[in-house]
Structure 1
Amino acid sequence: MDTSAPLLGEPLPIELMNTLWGDRGGVHDALDGSAGAEAWLRAVLPRIEPMTASDLDALPKEDLDHLARRLLGLRDALRRLAAEATGDLRPAAAAPIRELEAAVAVVNEAARAVPRWSALTWTPGEAAGRLTHADGRAADATVSAIAEEAIDLFCGDDRLRLRACPAPGCVLYFRKDHPRREWCSAACGNRARAARHYRRHRHPVS
């Protein structure tokens, strides 16, 4: 099962924010249920430490349900923080978490849920490497890793590059990684240009 969420190559916390997405049919939630959460995790698994495909395969249903709830809560908190950082006023994009302090508390709770640490690996004749280890359940470690990356995002220069896509009907966020980038994707850019063209050329109704 593939995730329905658009994957735009953004930092992982932004990819998580964008599991809430919109099209002409309205706003959709790619984390709607455990199956949706699992599909999204499998799509981004190469970017998540310390969870592996074997860890995900071995999760009992109870843990997968727990992970889905944790991801959903973190997603909603991150969208509230993104709205604060970007001045986002799009009604359809609004997170169910209204208070900034509540969103911060969710991210901090997720980040501290599981201790994680790095271990150096070095085989003679090869480059040094890093392995990430974590205590506790793999599900909690996964959410903790995304929350840590989110804290880096909001505390670093990327916060100043975070944008809410202004295309009609879009509820996604993106990192402005080029001075001329205005939308989350080429499709949104085309939609926005088409809408502008229509507004300029439509005839008033008599």
Structure 2
Amino acid sequence: MERCLALELASTIRHDGDGGVADDLATVQGTARWVRDRTGDIVDGVTVDENLMGEIVALRQAVRALFAHSVSPAPPSPADAHRLMPVDRALARLNAAAGREPVTPQMDWPSGGAPATRLLSAERDPHLRLVAALARAAIDFLTGPRREDLRACTAPRCVRYFVKKHGRQEWCKPSCGNRARAARHYRRHAAADADPAQP
């Protein structure tokens, strides 16, 4: 499956393995690692500082609010369900970030290949270009066909959003499914132990 940068940005908030929530963008170093690993092919020459980290985190907040809106009426990720940005503010933030870099679409059509679009920019600031590219990726995802399959993982302690790959998929990965089934089994047995009249 093709890479989904918007989903990768939202997934920088994740289960930490110990019952809590980890934030891959909590530090300048963590943000720099994520930018290098996930977006190196988008914008060259980016040096992450506090300002860029803040812009990426603010954009992630908007993206996660829009993901929560997208999966509604199902519940949003529990990581930030209690502090979601209002949808109109999230849209404004996303559109403003994308609009900071004027781009011109260009079509490439290599001999023997399929036509493809690339965006040309006259913008020199790599920080601005990176944030705008992340915002455009979120817009592309949220306006595209894959949005219909966006889900919040319902496994205990999981805080991820994922794109459902088949009709019956309930969790983002097999380990979440195992954890959810174990929790369901535990609840059933705890209820049976608490009520001896139960068969």
2:64 corresponding residue in structure 1: 79
TM-score, structure 2 length as denominator? Answer: 0.82
Q: Structure 2: which 5+ runs fail to align?
A: none
Q: Confirm or deny that 1:194 pairs with 2:182.
A: yes
Identity of aligned residues (%): 35
Q: Confirm or deny that 1:44 pairs with 2:38.
A: yes
Q: Confirm or deny that 1:183 pairs with 2:168.
A: no
1:143 corresponding residue in structure 2: 131
1:32 corresponding residue in structure 2: 26
Cα distance, 1:64 vs. partner? 2.7
The 1:65/1:193 distance shift into structure 2, 3 A limit, reads same
* Counterpart Cα distance in 2 of 1:35 and 1:142: 17
Q: What does 1:118-129 correspond to in 2, within 5 Å?
A: 118-119=105-106
* More divergent stretch after superposition (87-96 vs 138-147): 87-96
2:89 corresponding residue in structure 1: 102
Cα distance, 1:70 vs. partner? 1.1
* Counterpart Cα distance in 1 of 2:36 and 2:103: 21
Q: Structure 1: which 5+ runs fail to align?
A: 1-7
The 1:140/1:95 distance shift into structure 2, 3 A limit, reads farther
SS at match of 1:81: helix
Q: Which amino acid aligns with 1:163?
A: R
* Counterpart Cα distance in 2 of 1:156 and 1:95: 27
2:54 corresponding residue in structure 1: 69
1:160 corresponding residue in structure 2: 148
1:172 corresponding residue in structure 2: 160
The 1:132/1:97 distance shift into structure 2, 3 A limit, reads same
The 1:99/1:120 distance shift into structure 2, 3 A limit, reads closer
* Counterpart Cα distance in 1 of 2:158 and 2:101: 34
CA contact (8 A) 1:76 1:95 kept: no
The 1:108/1:181 distance shift into structure 2, 3 A limit, reads same
Cα distance, 1:205 vs. partner? 8.1
Q: Which amino acid aligns with 1:28?
A: A
Cα distance, 1:137 vs. partner? 1.0
Deviations 1:150-197 (A, max 9, x none): 112212222211100000011100011222321111111111111112
Cα distance, 1:139 vs. partner? 1.4
For the pair shown, the structure with the greater C-alpha radius of gyration is 2
CA RMSD in angstroms, aligned pairs only: 2.6
Which aligned segments of 4 or more residues in structure 1 are displaced greater than 6 angstroms?
Answer: none
CA contact (8 A) 1:85 1:162 kept: yes
SS at match of 2:136: helix
Q: Which amino acid aligns with 1:107?
A: L
TM-score, structure 1 length as denominator? Answer: 0.79
